[in-house]
Amino acid sequence: MTTQSPFMTNPVVATIMNHRSIRKFTNDTLAPSQIETIVRAAQMASSSSFMQAYSIIGLTDPALKYELREITKTPYMGENGHLFIFCADLQRLTVMGTEQEKLDMKMMMESTAFYQIAVIDAALAAQNAVLAAESLGLGAVIMGAINKDINRLDRMLGLPQYVIPLFGIAVGVPDQQPDVKPRLPLEAVYFENRYASETEQRERVQAYDRDMNRYYLARGANNRDTGWSRKHIDLLKMKLPLTGITDYIRSKGFNVT
């Protein structure tokens, strides 16, 4: 299928295929109409049972942007571009219920299933936001580094119970044009009817490792002699203190049961 079928394109597919994360922006600020378009696009994503279980916080206050730079230890964050923090949010419905209903709802709200639902809702919305931004000629990067001090970020944003930040998105006018990164072979990601065998998967990832080794060696900036899996296994072995995130999530009423 992969080598013979013609690939189909149109302006939407072209925008999707042209994605690269942009981490450096000019000093231009976003127009209110651009911000509104990005947020309204985010809102149009599907959500589980139409619960719309996410929120977005835009950071405009320079002091808060500076604090986020401290939290993430990422110098480029907050220097320029507009910052959106995407949150999983099960709070709206609890606000609307009676006290008795809140108790009745608690068991579901605090289940792993609903945590997962809210995370998915937020991420579906986020991808619409990224594509809308890119379609307007802007660049974007999704940033997980906001988790480096999640309790501080929570206080900074004044998040109530049942609201947790998941990731940030920085959006601005691109001041760099990195390469589009080659993805895993389609055959390593897409299967028909059953998951592939471990042997098949290993062969596919090994082929990708060879491709990515060439890519990492050849690219203009930040080039190095590594493959995809070696790079990530080394990252995974670093054992960051992740239990703080687990505790934080549970303290907000997510993923408790």
229 touches a second copy by CB under 8 A: yes
Please, how many CA atoms are within 13 Å of residue 40, restricted to the half-sphere of its CB?
6
Q: How far is the CB of 228 from a second copy (least distance, A)?
A: 8
Report the residue number, 36 or 70, with the smaller CB distance to a second copy: 36
- 3-state SS class at 163: strand
Q: Distance of CA 63 to CAs 29, 79, 108, 130, 232, Å?
A: 16, 11, 37, 25, 34
Using CB under 8 A, which of the segments 73-81, 124-132, 171-179, 217-225 binds a second copy?
124-132
d(CA 150, CA 140): 22
CB 153 within 8 A of CB 59: no
236 touches a second copy by CB under 8 A: yes
User: Of 58-97, which residues contact a second copy (CB under 8 A)?
Assistant: 58-61, 64, 91-93, 95-97
245 touches a second copy by CB under 8 A: yes
222 touches a second copy by CB under 8 A: no
Binding-site member from 160, 210, 214, 251 for a second copy (CB under 8 A): 160
Contact flags string 179-198 toward a second copy, x per CB under 8 A:
--x-xx-x-xxxxxxxx--x
Q: How far is the CB of 135 from a second copy (least distance, A)?
A: 3
Question: How many angstroms separate the most distant Cα atoms in the chain?
Answer: 62
Please, how many CA atoms are within 13 Å of residue 217, restricted to the half-sphere of its CB?
9
CB 115 within 8 A of CB 193: no
11 touches a second copy by CB under 8 A: yes
User: Of 130-149, which residues contact a second copy (CB under 8 A)?
Assistant: 130-132, 134-136, 141-142, 144, 147
